[in-house]
A and B are shown apart, each in its own frame.
Chain A
Amino acid sequence: MSECFLVGIDNSDGSRRALEFARKRAKNAGAKLVVTYVIEWSPYSFNTPEENEQRHKRREEEISSATNSVLNPALEQLKTAGIEVEGIVRHGNVADVLNSLATECGADLIMVGRIGESGLKSMLFGSVTTKLIQLANVPVTVVP
């Protein structure tokens, strides 16, 4: 059975480098690539009633914007390179979702860019990358 790699992307330069890295590795290994865009979202945040009312609409907008502006161009590029691809957009905690999706699709490896967060925020809460490395069930490659 051919290998499967999961690559997490967003709209950053780091993630473009990760995607490029993933493309080369997948091509060499003849592996399938699952390209994932995670929209940061917490199921425990507190909302006003008005936010609750608009949530469904906002979610659709977030998904279509992620799909059209980031995910689809990436998928097109990979397909022309002759790689088998699958695209997923999902809401949640980035590290948690990447890990559970890797398990869900039976990926052998997770690849992400080093996500540049502000110093203070990562000092307080830890960076997404660090968290992913700590909880991942499969090897993680971090592309600088």
Chain B
Amino acid sequence: MRSKIILAFSGVLSSLLPAILYAQDEIPIDQKINDAIAPIINPFVGFIFSPLPGSEAIFGTAFPWIVLWLVIAASVFTIYFGFIQFRGVKHSIELVRGDYLDPKDAGEVTPFQALCTALSGTVGLGNIAGVGVAVYLGGPGATFWMILAGLLGMASKFTECTLGVHYRNEYPDGTVSGGPMYYLSKGLSEQGKATFGKVLAVLFAICCVGGALGGGNMFQANQSAQQIGSVIPFFANNGFIFGIIMAIVVGIVIIGGIKSIAKVTEKVVPFMAAIYVGSALLIILLNIGSIGDAFSAIIGGAFAPTAVAGGAVGALIQGFKRAAFSNEAGVGSASIAHSAVQTKHPATEGYVALLEPFIDTVVICTMTSLVITITGAWNPGDGVTGIALTAKAFESNFGGFKYMLAIAAVLFAFSTMISWSYYGLKSWTYLFGEGAAKEMVFKIIFCIFVVIGASMSLGPVIDFSDAMIFTMAIFNIIGLYFLMPKVKEILRDYQGKLASGEFPRIKGGAAKST
């Protein structure tokens, strides 16, 4: 059955191939699509990323209101939960370390695995290329604001992931479906706002499907095709071939259910992340003499930068924006990933999830910007930005690092696509109902979009899908404001049970208890 599906799927792809090849000669099918779609979607994209009124005039640089929306929400949750990201982080680490795991439950998804799965969806090109853009535009001072926003985002993740588990659907066969669409509809209906909740949930799910196909798929395919093209010239003009290879690999994992490929990449991705952070640390050590200068550039640049559009506010905007776009706190995506995990109490997933913005933003993004700052690669106004700036900084100490970055980009993109295919699928089944055939339709569409993303330059389409991801945050956060008292109730219940010994700390397993 599976091999038939794969066969049929490869058939679809190979029939696409000549169409794309042909289109390349004729020129611009992508241009045509762009021209046709742009007038319809541009107003929406413009609205989502529109600057706060007057921000350009006052600060000299645009401040997208959606960034403020995310940062305000994160601040509200931080205060409402009494700085849970600082007071709770010790417990989070104990959970991830497995201190509370009963050996009798061995075989279930561990908190460590839940954390890694959710992280593989957010750690990606943004941590490498996005930070390059932020530092280029906002200067080293952007790092300070990025760290601050990352720390605040931890509270948003705690809130949405706790709710995701609490309101998920559990089916008789033991599988589960959860995420914002479920807590928006069920949670708000408990408060007597059933219609309002349903509307938010459906809008969220529509945006999540769009975001999964775009920002979580086409954008990733497109950017990794470009990265590979920059080191292997063959792929520079043959993005569709790269796209087909990528689509087949993605298809084998999500349609074929062949886990071995996912297993390989999911082992390689943390390894790449470790190499990336390790090389960054090494470069910082090699330039340890400049560490004082780098820190004063970051702190000074955060409050009184020079050569940055908009001054301190410019640095703040770039830092906040990068953090919000990178760790997805408040978007609701991680909540879908965490809802899949079997746990004894919803709050445990909240505690585990609050580590994600820390690892993604405070550790990995900060490493990138520290390397850019300490190596002196940042040269305002010279046009070296994004991944090129990151590559320049790393190459100043390790020649040939661009190859490493290209491989990292492809692997990060792949793991992000696998995660988003799941987020999209869960929203799809929320909208159209559960069922193998309905799931298959989405999975095939997802694979076709990989090819489209890699082979065409669909700027407006990708912008649109980026906007969809942030529109998820609008509906999600409205719901979170209504549901945060419920989260507090869940948290109190958990803390009570923890204190009464209902969830005993086992640490080290039974072997060492004698």
Q: How far is the CA of A97 from the CA of B103 in the complex (A)?
A: 9
B107 within 8 A of A: yes
Name the residue of chain A whose CB is nearest to the CB of B119: A46
Name the residue of chain A whose CB is nearest to the CB of B341: A52
Interface-located stretch among A20-28, A29-37, A99-107: A99-107
Q: How far is the CA of A52 from the CA of B108 in the complex (A)?
A: 8
Complex interface: chain B residues within 8 A of A39 (CB): 107
Complex interface: chain A residues within 8 A of B104 (CB): 90
Q: How far is the CA of A52 from the CA of B422 in the complex (A)?
A: 11
Q: How far is the CA of A28 from the CA of B266 in the complex (A)?
A: 50
Checking B173, B340, B423, B511 against A100 with a beta-carbon cut-off of 8 angstroms, the contacting residue is: B511
Chain B CB within 10 Å, residue with most, of A51, A53, A97:
A53
A125 within 8 A of B: no
A54 within 8 A of B: yes
Given contacts A48-B262, A48-B422, A56-B342, A91 and B511 within 8 Å (CB-CB): no
A92 within 8 A of B: yes
B106 contacts A46, C-beta separation under 8 Å: no
B188 within 8 A of A: no
Checking B270, B340, B510, B514 against A53 with a beta-carbon cut-off of 8 angstroms, the contacting residue is: B340
Complex interface: chain A residues within 8 A of B176 (CB): 53, 56
Complex interface: chain B residues within 8 A of A117 (CB): none
Checking B177, B336, B342, B511 against A55 with a beta-carbon cut-off of 8 angstroms, the contacting residue is: B342
When each residue 112-138 of chain A gets 1 if its CB lies under 8 Å from chain B and 0 otherwise, what string results? 000000000000000000000000000
When each residue 41-71 of chain A gets 1 if its CB lies under 8 Å from chain B and 0 otherwise, what string results? 1011111111111111101101100000000
With contacts defined as CB atoms under 8 Å apart, how many contacts are there between chain A and chain B in the complex? 107
Name the residue of chain B whose CB is nearest to the CB of A92: B106
B222 within 8 A of A: no
CB within 8 Å of A: which of B282-340? 336-337, 340
Interface-located stretch among B47-55, B110-118, B476-484: B110-118
Q: For the complex, count residues of A whose C-beta is within 8 A of B.
A: 30
Checking A46, A60, A90 against B116 with a beta-carbon cut-off of 8 angstroms, the contacting residue is: A46
Q: How far is the CA of A99 from the CA of B512 in the complex (A)?
A: 11
Checking B106, B107, B175, B422 against A49 with a beta-carbon cut-off of 8 angstroms, the contacting residue is: B422
Given contacts A41-B106, A104-B510, A49 and B337 within 8 Å (CB-CB): yes
Q: How far is the CA of A41 from the CA of B66 in the complex (A)?
A: 43
B509 contacts A100, C-beta separation under 8 Å: yes
CB within 8 Å of A: which of B18-64? none
When each residue 76-119 of chain A gets 1 if its CB lies under 8 Å from chain B and 0 otherwise, what string results? 00000000000000111000110110011000000000000000
Given contacts A52-B340, A100-B511, A103-B511, A59 and B113 within 8 Å (CB-CB): no
Q: How far is the CA of A110 from the CA of B104 in the complex (A)?
A: 20
B254 within 8 A of A: yes
Complex interface: chain B residues within 8 A of A96 (CB): 511
A90 contacts B103, C-beta separation under 8 Å: yes
Q: What is the distance, in angstroms, from B183's C-beta to the closest C-beta of chain A?
A: 17
When each residue 329-359 of chain B gets 1 if its CB lies under 8 Å from chain A and 0 otherwise, what string results? 0000000110011100000000000000000
Q: How far is the CA of A97 from the CA of B509 in the complex (A)?
A: 10
B422 contacts A46, C-beta separation under 8 Å: no
Q: What is the distance, in angstroms, from A89's C-beta to the closest C-beta of chain B?
A: 9
Q: What is the distance, in angstroms, from A60's C-beta to the closest C-beta of chain B?
A: 6
Q: How far is the CA of A43 from the CA of B103 in the complex (A)?
A: 11
Name the residue of chain B whose CB is nearest to the CB of A91: B107
When each residue 81-106 of chain B gets 1 if its CB lies under 8 Å from chain A and 0 otherwise, what string results? 00000000000000000100101101
Given contacts A41-B106, A43-B98, A47-B109, A52 and B114 within 8 Å (CB-CB): yes
Q: How far is the CA of A96 from the CA of B98 in the complex (A)?
A: 15
Q: How far is the CA of A53 from the CA of B179 in the complex (A)?
A: 12
A100 contacts B510, C-beta separation under 8 Å: yes
B267 within 8 A of A: yes
Complex interface: chain B residues within 8 A of A49 (CB): 117, 121, 336-337, 340, 418-419, 422-423
Complex interface: chain B residues within 8 A of A91 (CB): 106-107
Complex interface: chain A residues within 8 A of B422 (CB): 48-50
B4 within 8 A of A: no
Name the residue of chain A whose CB is nearest to the CB of B174: A57
B514 contacts A103, C-beta separation under 8 Å: yes
Complex interface: chain A residues within 8 A of B425 (CB): 50
Q: How far is the CA of A16 from the CA of B89 in the complex (A)?
A: 48
B277 within 8 A of A: no
Q: What is the distance, in angstroms, from B262's C-beta to the closest C-beta of chain A?
A: 5
Q: How far is the CA of A49 from the CA of B342 in the complex (A)?
A: 12
Q: What is the distance, in angstroms, from B196's C-beta to the closest C-beta of chain A?
A: 28
Given contacts A48-B422, A53-B175, A59 and B511 within 8 Å (CB-CB): no
Complex interface: chain B residues within 8 A of A51 (CB): 259, 262
Chain A CB within 10 Å, residue with most, of B107, B270, B419:
B107
Complex interface: chain A residues within 8 A of B270 (CB): 46
B108 contacts A55, C-beta separation under 8 Å: yes
Given contacts A52-B337, A55-B342, A59-B107, A45 and B509 within 8 Å (CB-CB): no
B101 contacts A48, C-beta separation under 8 Å: no
Given contacts A51-B259, A53-B176, A46 and B108 within 8 Å (CB-CB): no
B272 within 8 A of A: no
Instruction: Give the 9 A-B residue pairs with the shortest CB-CB distance, closest first.
Output: A91-B107, A46-B266, A100-B511, A53-B340, A57-B174, A49-B422, A91-B106, A59-B107, A52-B340
Question: Known contacts A49-B419, A56-B109, A90-B106; can you find 8 more A-B pairs with CB under 8 A?
Answer: A47-B116, A47-B266, A48-B419, A48-B422, A96-B511, A103-B510, A103-B511, A103-B514
